Structure 1
């Protein structure tokens, strides 16, 4: 989801159905304020979170929203779905306008899901160049051993996309469970990597994305707003 940047005069002309000449006169007469200050130039760049008032009427006042959800099994990482409950449907009491998911999880995967209306923030979080680590607890159908560690660290070639995965860290937790850390998210990547060993993934739970760790007080299906520290840990260019 791209950030909606544009010129102030174009926004007001479209919003009020007036000419740009009329908008310029409003600016001259100090009738327009953006984020609490009188706007003077028609080409001032605004975005979807600029607070815009014209003739004491609020034209736009969206607030940035950031949530973490403990996604349960059987919920889709989508805004709309005809067959399954969606992640957004679990955010009760929240205005859903412009909300989107930063880093999806499969239908049967569980754990940390981040939901926001700030496209710049989510783009920075998911940008391949930023190499933000994602940490998962993976439960396997069959026992795992030391061979997996080197295979994940060396990367795996996926013929269909003609790519080799970046190095990933695998830590064995028990005979059938491992923690996997990686900084990319190819299609069904973790399942496909374990598939090289013909070892089906029977459980996939995301613990964290970068410095944002799933709040262990949240039960499956529960959510909370991110803290300022959690929001600020995402470095935007």
Structure 2
């Protein structure tokens, strides 16, 4: 048996804390009976409804996906473009991406049907490090890279300090390959950071998420996370709490 709010969070209804609020507000029933006790436990066969709508309970699954460029980090697209779940046709569960990668960005993306797990990883306070490798126009001066390291002011606020490494440069083609380590996840953040120092991104790839890497995968390939990896990610996200 599991606590009701945990089951609701796993089903992606809301975070566990929000699920507790829904229970206290009298908006949750179990087998047709109103439940307002946070200690309530349920079995896999119990029928749980939130605001009169039955929640769908599935065995939680966790995947690491090497997202190609030109794919939307969503479960559907109104323009008919390819989405990440198109690569999971054999998966019965209704999975969705944890965060997102831009259409033109490739690399490591997690997908799951565990709403609590996804909310935990995406919470701004979790500080899970993401490693990006960017090919940018021009050759940035050392002072420009230091601006990224100190944190750079964008239209939605100053970024946290980043770790930056110039991997290579091509004077003839006037381009550079730069590694950027950040723990935030704002919309188009890496591209906007480089644009702010005057170097547009030509190509971008996320190579690492926490301790997870793309080792052994080609673009478009998938692997399931091990129980130990899931446990490690949870622990890493909970460190700052």
Query: Which TM bucket (shorter chain)?
Result: 0.7 to 0.9
The answer to whether structure 1 residue 224 and structure 2 residue 220 are counterparts is no
List aligned pairs for 1:84-99, cutoff 5 A: 84-97=81-94, 99=95
- 1:67 aligned residue (32, 48, 63): 63
TM-score, length basis structure 2: 0.75
The answer to whether structure 1 residue 156 and structure 2 residue 152 are counterparts is yes
Mapped to 1, the partners of 2:139 and 2:80 lie a distance apart of 34
Q: Out of 113-122 and 88-97, give the one that drifted further.
A: 88-97
* Consecutive aligned runs of 4 or more in structure 1 exceeding 4 Å deviation: 3-7
- For 1:212, the equivalent position in structure 2 comes to 212
- The count of corresponding residues between Structure 1 and Structure 2 is 201
Contact 2:58 2:93 in 1 (8 A): no
- For 1:31, the equivalent position in structure 2 comes to none
State the shift of 1:60 in Å: 6.8
**Matched residue SS, 1:130:** coil
- For 2:9, the equivalent position in structure 1 comes to none
Contact 1:171 1:180 in 2 (8 A): yes
The answer to whether structure 1 residue 52 and structure 2 residue 45 are counterparts is yes
- For 2:172, the equivalent position in structure 1 comes to none
**Matched residue SS, 2:64:** strand
Q: Residues 113 and 90 (structure 1 numbering): CA distance in 2 closer, same or farther, change over 3 Å?
A: same
**Matched residue SS, 1:129:** coil
- For 1:142, the equivalent position in structure 2 comes to 138
Per-residue CA distance 1:25-61 (angstroms, 9 max, x = gap) = xxxxxxxxxxxxxxxx997245xxx52268xxxx975
State the shift of 1:119 in Å: 1.2
Mapped to 2, the partners of 1:61 and 1:189 lie a distance apart of 34
Please tell me whether Structure 1 or Structure 2 has the larger radius of gyration of its CA atoms: 1
Mapped to 2, the partners of 1:183 and 1:42 lie a distance apart of 33
State the shift of 1:134 in Å: 0.6
Mapped to 2, the partners of 1:103 and 1:91 lie a distance apart of 17
Residue segments in structure 2 that go unaligned for 5+ positions in a row:
1-11, 48-54, 170-175
- For 1:166, the equivalent position in structure 2 comes to 160
Contact 2:30 2:46 in 1 (8 A): no
The answer to whether structure 1 residue 77 and structure 2 residue 51 are counterparts is no
Q: Residues 63 and 96 (structure 1 numbering): CA distance in 2 closer, same or farther, change over 3 Å?
A: closer
Contact 1:138 1:179 in 2 (8 A): yes
Q: Residues 104 and 61 (structure 1 numbering): CA distance in 2 closer, same or farther, change over 3 Å?
A: closer
Mapped to 1, the partners of 2:231 and 2:167 lie a distance apart of 31
- For 2:31, the equivalent position in structure 1 comes to 12
TM-score, length basis structure 1: 0.76
Mapped to 2, the partners of 1:157 and 1:42 lie a distance apart of 42
Mapped to 2, the partners of 1:150 and 1:107 lie a distance apart of 28
State the shift of 1:153 in Å: 1.3
Mapped to 2, the partners of 1:143 and 1:193 lie a distance apart of 15
State the shift of 1:154 in Å: 1.1
Q: Residues 157 and 221 (structure 1 numbering): CA distance in 2 closer, same or farther, change over 3 Å?
A: same
